[in-house]
Structure 1
Amino acid sequence: MSARSSRADVLAAVPTLVDEAGELDRAANRALLTGLVDRLDGVFVAGTTGEFPALHRAERRDLIEIALDVFGPDRVVAHIGAAATRDAVTLARDAVAAGARRLAAITPYYLPVDADTVTRHFAAITEAGRDAVVYGYLFPDRTGVPADAEQFARAAVESGLAGAKLSGAAAALLAEFVAALPAGSLLWSGDDAALASVVRAGGRGVVSGSASAFPEPFTALADAVARGDAEAERTAQTEVDDVTAALDTVQGIKHALARLGLGTGVMRMPAPLVGAVERERIDRLVARAQAPVA
């Protein structure tokens, strides 16, 4: 992670690149990660942007192994979450065997659960993870599990979680989670445009799908906030807002990467096609990123 503890982390929530037939493209995924290694603080692998519900066990293991090989274990957060505790435990063991030291697990989803169920789920994962650090992943909009700071804090203490990634409605509650969790807990927001407010609320940084394609605006914003440079922050925030507005879907991120020469743009999961207006906005970002430096 970032060597400067006062600076926010910018982690890329990387998509899973597949070929035209939808099969995992290991070379393309390695090329994506290699292109990012010197441009941000780390990666979040096989998460929502990575279409994890549609990945097989072996594919998730392959993606984690590639990320570990490129970034090293201290800069990779391997998402091993699954709807079933049994599957999440298996994935945690796979990741640790591959050398992962940092794991993240989404709450159970689809069937309704209570706070005790969530705690048992996380406890099984932290036990399987052995010495790996484990973070929760809260995305109530997708899982149906409410984001309650006090309940999560109790679950974190009882199960041994070291923090969490907060996405969707949970991201707006980051300050409540900071206040509820023990000192030293790490919290990242999935609302990548809100990096400055995340830092000021006590969060560690952002996990950004958009940064997979255009990392520089996010790292520039993190640098400006760390320096206390208000003018640079305003400039960087404008660029971040442009990127996040254009890349607000996984398919949009994949389209941008394809225009940058990485992958096919094909989704593993069913999704709407990228519309003409979205393509135009993305193409402008690509042209700006590829423009020669004066």
Structure 2
Amino acid sequence: MKDMEEARARLKGVFNITMTPFAKDGALDLDGLARNVERVIDLGYDGVLIGGTYGEFPTMTVAERADVFRRVMDVIGDRAPAMLCSAGSDPRDVFELTRLAGDLGGVPMVTPPYVSEITDDQIVEFFREVAPLSKTGIIIYNAPGIGITLSPGVINRIAEIPGMVGLKQGDLNPTAIDRIANDLRGKVATFCASDLAFLGPVMAGFDGFSTTNSGALPELVLATWKAVRSGDAQTATALHALWYDYRQLARAFGQPQTVKAAMNLRGFDGGSVRLPLRDVPPEALEKLRAVMERLAADPRSGVTLA
């Protein structure tokens, strides 16, 4: 993407949160990453989200994250929009990666700083400093699991800053979702950050959602989204219910661990997680295999196993 206007026009729909595959020894597998991106783009996903929390960015160096950004943008070119997570605990790293993401044609995704007792005013000023660094704009990343939870009021203040083009909302409290869907309508693109419970936010007016588990179940998640878009709530609900047992395992054993294990069962490039995460243990893997086999037996899922 060349500028903010193009970003605003193209930020909508379903975005695959692409897994970053690592070897058992922790080595970064850029070729596997490229194949993961190609798979979902070929299936028809509206875009990809690279190097987010489930992309394990906290375990990577700035240089590795830059390599990931460059490889992904080389692969997709202008075929689909890419959210490139430039969040970090050191603002200097955030500034560097944000500038690179915009220069490459992706849209950088930024969290508030990880600092104790930072005030709302200081958070807003941080986004004012970040905003001019990207020619494609900034996506506000509200990620309660890794830092500060932004209130709807603070999000609204940040969204007023010139250069803000989107929001990835990780706080799924219904009251927060309702306020954001209505307060930000027409200001920035709004994305639900979870495919475990995206139907409510989308029905409330969000522009799309990002999906981790589409790494393992890309056909099923995409079919659910298409049903939502066509207004077929009954089919969307049935398809979402189809992978409930999988979601239970993901909750029990964690994402991205479960996603990567399921991808490996399908012959995809899941690879391993990096420390401090641990790969799914053998007893859990057997439970996951049984769930994936049941999904593969249902033609609605689109799942095949290696």
**TM-score range, shorter-chain basis?**
0.7 to 0.9
Provide closer, same or farther for how the CA distance between residues 226 and 170 of structure 1 changes in structure 2, counting only shifts above 3 A.
Answer: same
Residue type at the aligned position of 1:207: S
> In the alignment, which residue of structure 1 is the partner of 2:242?
239
Q: 2:223 aligns with which of 197, 220, 234?
A: 220
- SS of the residue 1:206 aligns to: strand
> Relative to structure 2, which stretch is displaced further, 254-263 or 113-122?
254-263
The Cα offsets for residues 69-114 of structure 1, whole Å up to 9 and x where unpaired, read as 23334421111111222211101122233x2232211221143311
**CA deviation after TM superposition for structure 1 residue 168, in Å:** 4.4
What pairs with 1:60-75 in structure 2 (closer than 5 Å)? 60-73=65-78, 74-75=80-81
Partners of 2:192 and 2:202 within 8 A in 1: no
TM-score by length of 1: 0.87
**CA deviation after TM superposition for structure 1 residue 138, in Å:** 0.6
What pairs with 1:22-37 in structure 2 (closer than 5 Å)? 22-37=26-41
Partners of 1:213 and 1:257 within 8 A in 2: yes
- SS of the residue 2:48 aligns to: strand
Matched, 1:118 2:123: yes
- SS of the residue 1:140 aligns to: coil
**CA deviation after TM superposition for structure 1 residue 208, in Å:** 1.1
> In the alignment, which residue of structure 1 is the partner of 2:264?
258
Residue type at the aligned position of 2:95: V
**CA deviation after TM superposition for structure 1 residue 133, in Å:** 2.2
Provide closer, same or farther for how the CA distance between residues 241 and 10 of structure 1 changes in structure 2, counting only shifts above 3 A.
Answer: farther
Instruction: State the 4+ residue runs in structure 1 displaced beyond 6 angstroms.
Output: none
Gaps of 5+ in 2: 2-8, 297-302
Structure 1 vs Structure 2: percent identity of aligned residues? 23
> In the alignment, which residue of structure 2 is the partner of 1:189?
192
> Relative to structure 2, which stretch is displaced further, 132-141 or 105-114?
105-114
CA distance in 1, matches of 2:175, 2:70: 33
Matched, 1:85 2:100: no
Gaps of 5+ in 1: none
CA distance in 2, matches of 1:110, 1:259: 40
Matched, 1:13 2:17: yes
The Cα offsets for residues 208-259 of structure 1, whole Å up to 9 and x where unpaired, read as 1111121122211111112222332232121243443333421111111222
- SS of the residue 2:217 aligns to: coil
Provide closer, same or farther for how the CA distance between residues 104 and 171 of structure 1 changes in structure 2, counting only shifts above 3 A.
Answer: farther
> In the alignment, which residue of structure 1 is the partner of 2:276?
270
Partners of 2:159 and 2:188 within 8 A in 1: no
- SS of the residue 1:18 aligns to: coil
**CA deviation after TM superposition for structure 1 residue 262, in Å:** 3.3
CA distance in 1, matches of 2:174, 2:72: 26
Q: 1:160 aligns with which of 136, 160, 163?
A: 163
Partners of 2:22 and 2:28 within 8 A in 1: yes
CA distance in 2, matches of 1:102, 1:124: 16
Q: 2:46 aligns with which of 41, 49, 63?
A: 41
Q: 2:140 aligns with which of 136, 140, 146?
A: 136
Q: 1:279 aligns with which of 285, 293, 299?
A: 285
Provide closer, same or farther for how the CA distance between residues 173 and 277 of structure 1 changes in structure 2, counting only shifts above 3 A.
Answer: farther
> In the alignment, which residue of structure 2 is the partner of 1:203?
206
Partners of 1:136 and 1:164 within 8 A in 2: yes
**CA deviation after TM superposition for structure 1 residue 205, in Å:** 1.5
The Cα offsets for residues 145-173 of structure 1, whole Å up to 9 and x where unpaired, read as 23211111112213531221011456872
Residue type at the aligned position of 1:151: V
Matched, 1:53 2:58: yes
TM-score by length of 2: 0.84
